[in-house]
A and B are shown apart, each in its own frame.
Chain A
Amino acid sequence: MHERTKNVDILKEIARRVRIDLLKALHRAKSGHTGGSLSSVEILVSLYFSEMRHNPKNPRWGDRDRFVLSKGHGVPALYSVLAHAGYFAREELMSLRKLGSRLQGHPEYDLEIGIEATTGSLGHGLSAANGMALAARMDGKDIRIYALLSDGELQEGASWEAITTSSYRKLDNLCAIVDRNRFQNDGAMKDIKDIEPVPDKWRAFGWEVEVLADGHDFPSILSAFEKARQTKGKPFVIIANTIKGKGVSIFENQGKYHGVAPSDDELKVALNELGEAA
């Protein structure tokens, strides 16, 4: 099994490097989703370096915990985390979105690189996670299933079908996380189609809800996962208030960096802020 840590300094340093690599990969690819990749970094680092039981050297290990990236467009962050965890070489990140690469623009099911489900069309991932959670229960497996959703994704009706299934089936082996950066493709969610109050809605749908004031703060993320593991008879959702574009001042809370890769100049600024020479 992969070595896990609760050491916040170590996790912070991993997050910094994950950001650097995902930005370099996006820059090289010249397209892709910058803002929503950066907002998920601490959540993903917490999962892969602290919370989940998994083994990058044995990606098909039957008793591994499962992770579904329902917000598939955020996959540059996941690829970077998987590379840092040891699923594949960091150099491969530079093939992102290129012809022939395993690192497709949106995640394609490929256990060799640690991708558990094909996503990219929003509103599918939580259903897939439900299926995994039901199967694990059937097989008497003591494993946990995680799914990361975006807030824009909650505008999809299918998301709420899945949210209902999880609670109706009392999937306490399932933990959902919402990357609540309050932006979608077209701008701020409140100007496009507001979905608040998000926590109340999940509660009304039968979930145990934990709202994180700062979805980039490792201690609070880790303790939320701890609570999730202890919650019985209900699915658990962590609603993480995050900042779209987190970590790079010119991208933070800028709607237009949702679906664009950093330019040469922007990459320089970003790497500089992240303490890396270009």
Chain B
Amino acid sequence: MSRTQISDFLVDEVTEHVYIRETYGKTLVELGREYPNIVVLDADLTVSTKTNLFGKEFPNRFFTMGVSEQDMMATAAGFALSGKIPFASTFAIFATGRAWEHVRQSIVFPKLNVKIVATHAGVTVGEDGATHQALEDIALMRVLPNMTVIVPADAVETEKVIRTIVNHNGPTYVRLARVKFPTIFKKSYEFEIGKARVLREGKHVTIFAVGIMVCEALEASKILEREGISACVVNVSTVKPIDVETIVKAASSTGAVVTAEDHNIVGGLGGAIAEVLGENYPTPMKRIGMKDRFGTSGDGLQLLEYFGLKARNIVQAVHELLEFNSQKKSVVL
């Protein structure tokens, strides 16, 4: 494959691994200096979500809500109704699960300008186990009309996302994780709400990915390339509103689709892509992700292996899909 088919936004080689929640915390502090209207709320997890950094610099705009996620979300709504720009953070399971109905009624239905930035999504939470691993947060936020749902793929994108959403008026959910993410983007990377990014062109299969799985998808495309399979890789960091045009174009150019996410394949990215393609360009597809099951305790990165969320699992799905497509063709013939 020629170099021109690989996005200029990608680093040549991954050399850095970064806690994207730390990027969030630091970016929030910088934004706090520019925007006096930003207030930050957290539900007794400030050290983990890194909102504590904002709290240190702006104690008067920082609200420790205690272990009260529902209260936190509705309070954030009140701040938004009073012209503030509230960021509300806690673990993804509590932000989207525990407080879901408060988020729905008090924030999203009235289209309030609340930024929910949740950390510790997915199985990479690790040792805390199934109760703490949000595998349904994308789904829970995506079913809400008016909601914007963003899943950054690395630290560079996280910073751009946080800076972008400050100027976006409306309810927003940003999904971050616990473990360090490989930095895959150059500083020049451009993020735009609602825009999926083709990171690599390809002819035989399209891999749509979010979060830490974008790196795995790129890794998979390299393995596939050595086998003579050319894979297109797309970062669908905005899961809602979803970029129908880019998705249909990328799927139709290859005729085979694999999705990859650290989330339940039901209702998450896999579900979202299936909805788009089902109505616009039905394409054979396979979904890599949590296969409608709960997580478990273990090292976060080890769990990606255990649950089949690695580049080689994407490669295997591609093989099965291309095999299926070729058999289908021979049946038609």
Contacts and interface: CB of A to CB of B under 8 A. Distances in A.
18 contacts: A32-B127, A97-B297, A99-B296, A101-B297, A104-B129, A104-B130, A105-B128, A108-B131, A119-B131, A120-B131, A120-B132, A121-B98, A152-B44, A152-B67, A153-B67, A185-B48, A186-B47, A193-B65
Interface in A139-196: 152-153, 155-157, 184-186, 189, 191-193, 195
A99 B131 contact: no
Contacts, number: 94
A167 to B, nearest CB: 22
Contact of B66 (A97, A104, A155, A259): A155
B93 interface: yes
A192 B127 contact: no
Contacts of B303: 99
Given A32-B127, A155-B44, A186 B64 contact: yes
A99 B306 contact: yes
Interface of B: 42, 44-48, 52, 64-68, 70-71, 93-94, 97-98, 126-132, 296-299, 302-303, 306
A238 to B, nearest CB: 21
Given A106-B128, A106-B131, A120-B131, A155 B67 contact: yes
Nearest to A99: B298
Given A106-B132, A118-B131, A192 B71 contact: no
Interface of A: 29-32, 72, 97-101, 104-106, 108, 118-123, 152-153, 155-157, 184-186, 189, 191-193, 195, 259
Q: State the main secondary structure of chain A at its contact with B.
A: loop
Nearest to B43: A155
Contacts of A155: 44, 66-68
A121 B93 contact: yes
A195 B66 CA distance: 10
A186 B97 CA distance: 21
A191 B62 CA distance: 13
B297 A152 contact: no
Query: Which of B70, B128, B132 counts the most chain A CB atoms within 10 A?
Result: B128
Contacts of B296: 99-100, 104
A193 B297 contact: no
Contacts of B52: 186
A157 B98 CA distance: 11
Contact of B131 (A72, A123, A186): A72
B70 A157 contact: yes
B127 A185 contact: no
Nearest to A123: B67
Given A32-B127, A155-B44, A104 B68 contact: no
- The 7 A-B residue pairs whose C-beta atoms are closest, nearest first, are A193-B66, A99-B298, A120-B131, A105-B129, A155-B66, A97-B127, A155-B67
Nearest to B303: A99
B129 A97 contact: yes
Nearest to A75: B129
Nearest to A122: B67
Contacts of A156: 67-68
Contacts of A184: 44, 66-67
A152 B129 contact: no
Contacts of B70: 157
Given A99-B302, A105-B129, A186-B64, 8 more contacts: A31-B126, A98-B298, A99-B299, A104-B297, A106-B128, A106-B130, A108-B131, A193-B65
A104 to B, nearest CB: 4
A108 B68 CA distance: 23
Contacts of B71: 157
B118 to A, nearest CB: 14
Contact of A120 (B42, B126, B129): B129
Given A72-B131, A105-B297, A118-B131, A192 B68 contact: no
B74 to A, nearest CB: 10
B45 A31 contact: no
Contacts of A152: 44, 66-67
Nearest to B98: A121
Contacts of A259: 48
A43 B45 CA distance: 26
A98 B37 CA distance: 44
Nearest to B91: A121
Contacts of A97: 127, 129, 297-298
Residue among A105, A123, A193 having the largest count of chain B Cβ atoms under 10 Å: A105
Contacts of A31: 126-128
A186 B297 CA distance: 24
Contacts of B93: 121
Contact of A98 (B64, B65, B130, B297): B297
A74 to B, nearest CB: 13
A186 B56 CA distance: 13
A68 to B, nearest CB: 14
B16 to A, nearest CB: 24
Contacts of B42: 186
A121 B302 contact: no
Contact of A106 (B64, B94, B129, B299): B129
Nearest to A153: B67
Contact of B45 (A120, A185, A191): A185
A185 B46 CA distance: 8
B66 A192 contact: yes
A32 B298 CA distance: 12
A105 B306 CA distance: 17
B124 to A, nearest CB: 13
Nearest to B70: A157
